Amino acid sequence: MRLSVSQMAKLCGVSARTLRYYGQIGLLHPETAADSGYRWYGEADVARMRQILFYRELDFSLSDIRDILADPHYDKQEALLRQRRLLRMKRDRLDRLLALVEANLKGDKIMEFQAFDSSELEAARREYAAEAKARWGDTDAWRQSQEKLAAGQDWSAQAEEMNAIFRRAAALRDTDPAAPEARTLVEDWKQFISTHCYDCTDEILAGLGTMYTADERFRKNLDRFGGGTASFLSAAITAYCGSRG
């Protein structure tokens, strides 16, 4: 199966722009032809899109959906159970609103705002998202801080230290990502994250690596140190994690 953007769009019932946007924010990254830049969607992408649509239906933000799906412990069965629970909560809320309309139709002048309340649902949603985020290592907050750093909005010593690592990556970007220098670089990077942010396990590190190329905003920031820095760092991380997996 090899679907073009418009075919994929039609199949999933979304617009082509939506697909492009999802690619941009690193939510759905189809195979991209190296020469033409055309996107080609496969079966895995379709399956992922179905998940995305479900969570979107449940009013998760796209970044939350990204975190949930990126979770290395993601369990399809458990996800289904949770989706069912949230869907039921949503339906029950609609039923309450319906009952309110019915009552008003019968002439009862009920002025309840309570039926509109969706805090219960929102709480459940937040809990779910937060849980995934916690397991996934707070990647999102980390990315945001990094984007700020890379955008030059922070000139602390920490930012300088980070930039130094990125410059080293840029300098090595035409060498073998599995070479000892690259390995040392990745180790330093992992150490930096663990020191300044949170305990960076190999699993999280691998996730970051894929994100460096998948998420366009992130990739651009890295490539400002030299074109190809992002993909080099990503490859180096893959090599590092692969050798320890």
Partner DNA sequence: TGTAGACCATGACGCAGCGTCAAAGTCAAG
Partner DNA sequence: CTTGACTTTGACGCTGCGTCATGGTCTACA
Residues in contact with DNA, shown as a per-residue x/- string from 63 to 82 under the rule CB under 7 A: x-------------------
Task: Kindly state the smallest distance separating residue 108's Cβ from a copy of itself, in Å.
Answer: 12
Q: How many residues bind a copy of itself (CB under 8 A)?
A: 30
Q: How many residues bind DNA (CB under 7 A)?
A: 22
Query: Footprint of a copy of itself on residues 57-116 (CB under 8 A)?
Result: 57, 77, 80-81, 83-84, 87-88, 90-91, 94-95, 97-98, 101-102, 104-105, 111, 113, 116
Closest CA to 147 of 130, 129, 162: 162
Sign of CA dihedral 140, 30, 220, 180: positive
Check residue 153 for interaction with DNA (CB under 7 A). no
Query: Footprint of a copy of itself on residues 40-59 (CB under 8 A)?
Result: 46-47, 50, 53-54, 57
Closest CA to 28 of 14, 240, 36: 14
- For residue 169, the tally of other CB atoms under 10 A from its CB is 25
Residue 34 interacts with, from DNA, a copy of itself, none (CB under 5-8 Å by kind): none
- 183-214 burial, b at 16+ Cβ within 10 Å, e below that, comes to eebbeebbebbeeebeebeeebbbbbbebbbb
**What is the DSSP-derived secondary structure letter of residue 40?**
E
Three-class SS of residue 228?
coil
Residue 1 interacts with, from a copy of itself, DNA, none (CB under 5-8 Å by kind): none
Residues that bind DNA (CB under 7 A): 4-7, 14-18, 20-21, 25, 33, 35-39, 56, 61-63
